[in-house]
Amino acid sequence: MDFQKLCVSNQHSDQCDIASKTTDTTDQQWEQMCLPLEEPFTTPVPVPLESQTRPSKYGLKVTYGTDGWDTPVIWLVPDFIPGTGVGTLVSASMGLKTFVAVHLAGCITSGTPFLGMPARNGLVFYVAAEGASGLPRRLKGFELQNNADCGQKFVLITQPVSMVNDDERSALRQIIKQESESQNEAPVLLVIDTFSQCSAGIDENSAGQVAQYINYATQLANEFSMAVLIVHHTSKSGGYRGSSALLANMDFALESNRVKPESPIKTVVSVAKSKEGATGINAEFHLSPVELGLNDNAGRPVSTLVVTDAKLIEKDAAPHATRDIDMSIIQGQFTERPTDSIPRDQLLASLSAKFPEIAPSTIDKRVSQACSALVEMGILLEEKIGRNKAYRLKHSDSNIGDSDDNDVDDPLDF
């Protein structure tokens, strides 16, 4: 089989390496070119017990009893991302999710702590399906801010890659194997940014097709003992866009909720789902502009936003963080209709859909608190539709937009 060529680059090179495999190269020959994952890399990979990998006579792998119960839990980032598995980072458009993903990648590739915790060090493969030219600047901003060096461990793929396309998926697999062998480093994270741009060939509202997509991503995660992080958008109602199978089939889910007003620029990242740990863990990320030391063609300094402060939110700060998250979700309802009034009942429904496990009475109270705060800040106006409350943006030309992160959420990137 001939594999489609993918363009791969890193922030220290203007050249592209083309990874391809021709029909003259057998699978056995290719395997011999790659280092085994267990020994050369600095991060140990747990090896399953023999019974866990023993196929039955029917060709299926089986285990018995409690085999494997004591296999160590390996984290990419403790409590946030497991060492192996598929998850998602979700936010509304302009929700700063790409900045959080780049910050995570920078920490992993440079050995910088993430939220004060050690991250598993290794290669990061970043599929930038849109706005790829801005990613190296954002990573450079991370290096300047943290006095760090990511080297060539950040491998940028500058075009969409669909998990359901056999040729593209196979080419991605060979790129990961080739870079792992040539750099003598373990691949620990694959970022797909975004799901929408890297899902050509499927209907994102089809449960079966979405499940197949996640299954292919899981195969890659298991093969390389790495995490796969899929960057995704919320729907207009604030929930996950597309089929519910997306969240249902994930091993973990992170949500980024941008906090307004933006002084400073910040977002709250929450663990919404975790098969290996607890949910409800919140972290706050503050972002600031950093000049990169060069000018654009108009002679103006080129800057980018970078995470300048990140911290876990303690339990006694959770109510404030919860209100900030609710305010961000409610503001997101005006993305597609900035000049319209939205009934309070609709805001209740959107928050209920976001947090189905929370009692309706609690949701009602949270909507009241968030809307009152937004009115006090001069962001929303309260009005009446009949006997019911409704809300409208105070200024119809609000800076809320509906574009992908890589295009517009960093006005300082040229």
pLDDT in tens, the chain (414 residues): 444 456 565 544 444 443 443 334 444 443 433 434 333 334 444 544 444 455 556 778 888 999 988 888 899 999 999 999 999 999 888 889 999 999 999 999 999 999 999 999 999 999 998 778 889 999 999 999 999 999 999 999 999 999 999 999 999 999 999 999 999 999 999 999 989 889 888 898 898 999 999 999 999 999 999 999 999 988 766 667 788 788 888 999 999 988 877 678 999 999 988 988 888 889 999 999 999 999 999 999 999 999 999 999 864 444 555 676 778 788 878 876 777 889 999 888 888 887 877 778 888 888 888 888 888 888 888 998 888 899 988 764 433 333 344 443 444 443
Distance of CA 385 to the CA centre of its chain: 39
Domain that holds residue 171: 6-313
Residue 409 lies in a domain: no
Identify residue 112 by its one-letter amino acid code. T
Q: 323 with 373, same domain? A: yes
Q: 13 with 152, same domain? A: yes
pLDDT on residue 69: 86
pLDDT on residue 411: 40
Residue 292 lies in a domain: yes
CB 303 within 8 A of CB 412: yes
pLDDT on residue 13: 43
Q: 279 with 266, same domain? A: yes
Q: Which two tokens stand for residue 389?
A: 């409350």
Nearest to 215 by CA among 85, 125, 80, 73: 85
pLDDT on residue 336: 66
Residue 400 lies in a domain: no
Among 259, 282, 313, residue at a domain's last position = 313
Q: 87 with 166, same domain? A: yes
Structural domains in the chain (count): 2
Residue 405 lies in a domain: no
Domain CATH for 361: 1.10.10.10
Residue 349 lies in a domain: yes
pLDDT on residue 327: 80
Backbone φ and ψ for 385, nearest 5 degrees, come out as: -120, 100
**What is the pTM for the complete model shown?**
0.69
Q: By three-state DSSP, how is residue 93 classified?
A: coil
Residue 413 lies in a domain: no
Q: 283 with 362, same domain? A: no
Q: How many CA atoms lie within 13 A of 137 on its CB side?
A: 23
Q: 125 with 113, same domain? A: yes
Residue with tokens 């936010």: 91
Q: What is the CA radius of gyration of the chain?
A: 22
Among 313, 343, 360, residue at a domain's last position = 313
Q: Residue 93 contacts by C-beta under 8 Å, 6 or more apart in sequence?
A: 233, 335, 401, 402, 403, 404, 405, 409
Q: 208 with 273, same domain? A: yes
Q: Residue 13 contacts by C-beta under 8 Å, 6 or more apart in sequence?
A: 152
Nearest to 90 by CA among 367, 412, 354, 338: 354
Q: Which two tokens stand for residue 12?
A: 């220290």
CA gap 194, 125 in Å, rounded: 14
Handedness of CA 271, 275, 278, 280 (dihedral sign): positive
Q: 362 with 251, same domain? A: no
CA gap 351, 291 in Å, rounded: 38
Residue 211 lies in a domain: yes
Nearest to 250 by CA among 285, 211, 288: 211
Strands (E), 150-264: 154-157, 187-193, 227-233, 252-259
Residue with tokens 């977002």: 267
Q: 203 with 263, same domain? A: yes
pLDDT on residue 56: 58
Other Cβ atoms less than 10 A from the Cβ of 185: the count is 21
DSSP-H helix ranges across 49-165:
50-53, 97-110, 135-146
CA gap 346, 349 in Å, rounded: 5
Length of the chain (residues):
414
Domain CATH for 247: 3.40.50.300
Q: Which two tokens stand for residue 96?
A: 């700063």
Residue 398 lies in a domain: no
Among 313, 329, 361, residue at a domain's last position = 313
Q: 287 with 345, same domain? A: no
Q: 215 with 307, same domain? A: yes
Q: 377 with 287, same domain? A: no
The helix (H) or strand (E) run that includes residue 22 is none
pLDDT on residue 143: 97
Q: Which two tokens stand for residue 24?
A: 């003259």
Q: Cα angle vertex 304, ends 301, 306, to 5°? A: 140
CB 354 within 8 A of CB 239: yes
